Amino acid sequence: MGQEQDAAIYQAIRGYFRDALDWVQEFADIFAPYGEVDVDDCISTPEARLAEHRRRFVVKSYPSDIQADAGALLEAIPQSWTCHGFMAFL
């Protein structure tokens, strides 16, 4: 049961970041033809945010917006499942 719980949480987290990256790609695809939009900046900003998320993950220091996003992800998972390994990250 523990591995099943971990897999569900892991998939929810991957889905969150996949959706975020898909949005960034869609944005770049739509606005790339326009000279006013700096596509390189639009791409580097999410990469910088990802690096910052990794740094915060290591030190377990999360701002309120990230805590809210994590809470929203965990709400989608039955509470009986959230007492396993991933709770150590919060």
Q: What is the average per-residue pLDDT within 80-84?
A: 62
Contacts 24+ apart (CB under 8 A), 18-22: 20/46, 21/46
| Contact residues for 82 (Cβ-Cβ < 8 A; gap 6+) | 5, 9, 74
Predicted pLDDT at 25: 81
Does the pLDDT at position 90 exceed 70?
Answer: no
Torsion, Cα of 19, 68, 41, 34 (10° steps): 60
Does the pLDDT at position 87 exceed 80?
Answer: no
User: What average pLDDT does the chain have?
Assistant: 77
- Note if the pTM is more than 0.75: no
